[in-house]
Structure 1
Amino acid sequence: MMADKNLVRHLYACETMGCATTICSDKTGTLTTNRMTVTQCWLGGDIFSPPFQARVEDDLLCDAIAINSSYTSEIIPSSQGGMAEQRGNKTECALLQYLASIGRYYRAIRAAHPEESFAKVYTFNSSRKSMTTVIAIPGGWRVFCKGAAEIVLAKCSSIRDEGGHVADLSTEEAERIVERVINQMADNGLRTICVAYKDIMGQSEPNFADEATVTAGLCSLAIFGIEDPVRPEVPQAIWQCQQAGVTVRIITGDNVNTARSIARKCGILPRQYDDVHRDKDMVMDSRKFNRFITDDSGKIRQDKLDLIWPRLRVLARSTPKDKFTLVEGIINSKVSKHREVVAVTGDGTNDAPALKKADVGFAMGMAGTDVAKEASDIIITDDNFSSIVKAIMWGRNIYDNVAKFLQFQLTVNVAALSVAIIAACSIGDTPLKAVPMLWVNMIQDTLGSLALATEPPGQALLERKPYGRNKRLISSIMARNIVGQGVYQSVVLLCLLFAGPRYFNVYEERIVGQVNGEVPSQMYTLVFNALVLMTSFNLINSRCIHNEANVFQGLLTNWYFPLLWLSMVIIQVIIVQVGGVAFSTAPLTAKMWGVSLLFGVGSLAWYQLLRVIPMRWPWAKSDRRE
């Protein structure tokens, strides 16, 4: 799994991921490239696209961008003439690159205003959705603010146009800007950021503890549309999840229109999705989500949440608390017949509760914090959603390989136990002696388990629905195969035991409780040999636990399997022919080997007959999610 960019911290998560029915995914960096670029800019008039032009009036805007951003966010030019490297917050890096595109240099502005000179900084968080920095100016203080466009714009009481003139911003004008500028950008999948400022004049220092007052009455300078392209491999990965019966949901802090557009591009929502004509509950923002799931006292109710989550595909402007609430609600819900198994992605410290609560938590290896990684079960080292799809494949493969070995092992036990009991009751002795059975249980079963455990994952694993939370490990199809092959092997062994002496013209005087040092029985050896060969060929059948017709499909993709299978057969020949008293075996004739081989191959044909037995009985309905 490490080669597929999955660093597993808790082994149980591998198998659990194979049963996942829901993935709650971040947008930025997981579904998108996290390489952000300003593609649209509104400065109070028209919406501009690249190439952007510098203006004299941009000085204040440049200060607002360069100063009111983390100083760890930087643009590092490529030494080889390629794309510049973005370090730090990718949204801030996109704004800094905008400054470079109009010929302004943020480093000079930051050098004139070191961080130590800041009067106050209100850092960005999931509840504010904005960042504010206050600096001292002659005669007062200047407040710079940037953040989610509709939230920052709601704090503005004035606006500066393209010519640098400031005018009052009425409620009607603000609504027009939201509709004509912000929503238009968001509908194109752009993250919208509003940059604003205000001056506080006076000798007395403002009450910085009153954030609402400090950030009220701002003047809007610009609204930027920042593109974070969808990773090219994501739509195919989403389609694979849907084919595999796994529902993907986006939980993001972005604008609802931006999230909806990205969901369309990814394939989470149909491209023709229209909020007016389709189910509106597929896309929600945090405010609407919390209003629907809480009662009058503000307490979250599971019955109300159960009405929302089955249709929900996009949760926008969400907080870490919303993420935790949704994940917990889906896990606790009993609406789904098979109960949901939830996987969650996260990169921030505040995502830790949701990652811990999820059945499988995925932390981002590149952008994730140490706290998120510690709370996770698997770390995605390349921050790519397609790596999660590979984790689903590995999880289902592990689950299936365990089931395959159980099918193989239990068949051997059914046959051996049946023959031992019937023989002991009828002739007072068992043909399966201690040492040969040790070979079967310790060596052959070990080699068989290794052969099945090394089966690699394939695309066919994503072509069926996931197992439910309450899925029985031994399905009805497996039980049919175990009983059917066990009956076949038992009948064959008993026929050889009782009819073999006459057919092969071998008559022995057997001693009950035979011990080493006495001549081993050739007929007992024949029974043991037939059991091993039928078991060896049934190992090939055991690769099929979903009623597959072609038992040889993909056999050569795992070279361990034929190598181990041949090793079992070769060792069996050596034990039978030269094992002697030590292994309680006597050499067999060519005819005896031919009969043993015939019955071994017969188990492959017997499997094809078992396949036609219908498995639509009432107790088989919950075996798999359909």
Structure 2
Amino acid sequence: MTNPTERALPANSVAESHDGDFGCTLMDLRKLMELRSADALEQINAQYGGVLSLCTRLKTHPVEGLSGNPADLEKRKRVFGHNLIPPKKSKTFLELVWEALQDVTLIILEIAAIISLVLSFYRPAGEGSELLEFPCACPVLLVAHFGAGESRFAGECGLPISSPEDEGEAEAGWIEGAAILFSVIIVVLVTAFNDWSKEKQFRGLQNRIEKEQKFSIIRNGHIIQLPVAEIVVGDIAQVKYGDLLPADGILIQGNDLKIDESALTGESDHVRKSLERDPMLLSGTHVMEGSGRMLVTAVGINSQTGIIFTLLGVSEEEEEEKKKKAKTQDGVALEIQPLNSQEGIDSEEREKKAVKLPKKEKSVLQGKLTRLAVQIGKA
């Protein structure tokens, strides 16, 4: 298959300029990568004049790629971002301890231990004195010896007296509660330490995988294996069967290229990519057939995979905030309800209209994620 870019553009026709700005912004490229098929082709041709003109704006060559100038690479990272998706903040040891304390069984044991400790230190007034003053007689010094479990009565007044063994058991009653509490503390610390060590091992393994993962990139006319984190916007990537795409891009040249986009869109069918039909390639998708070259247009959190991870993180934070607000607004909820059913219907319609976005502003991926969320909610 002939390569149209090689015929249309000489080897050194695109000079890299490190002083001037790029011909497109980060937001322009993000919006472009949200389009698919005919809409994407129309936008590329209308706004940029084709893929070759887009290469010119990004100061790269479709055949030789970037020159690898360190200053140019740093500028691209500063303008378009790094090809890294920041991992979710790991939990501290104290947070893991708090999570371990939420176990129902441990909560019951904690309550039992506290009650046992409180009762062990509780003494009724007048208890524990051997010298008792009776209203019917002179003070009597009680020195009798009693067996275990027995009780005696002093004089004719009928007052019970505890044996020394009973007093010893009462004084040692705090040991039972302390033992329960100590056991709970040991269980919590062991559980938290295990979770912390597992998370630390997972982070280390993830970092090692990211460092060892490499991709074929064309720079200065040579194909090199470059760490995924070093890929920048404007790079020319060589894609082939079995590759996991590390960034978003636009196909420059392809040979029977088929992509598995099920990780993003949920569609099990392989999508055929070509310059004439659908040249958009997304990060996180697998190359199932063919080969080709693509122009990298979005990396890191600005790629489609990065946007999804960002939205998921934001949604989790919003859900936590909503739960906190819901607890404080329970008492006010009845006051802000609509006065009649018609107002309730109108408010629901307004909310639906506010949530709905124009079709052109929603990507295929966002639409499918919305439908999936609705189906999960109905289930």
User: TM-score of the superposition, structure 1-length normalised?
Assistant: 0.19
Larger radius of gyration: 2
User: TM-score of the superposition, structure 2-length normalised?
Assistant: 0.28
Q: RCO higher in 1 or 2 (8 Å CA, sep ≥ 6)?
A: 2
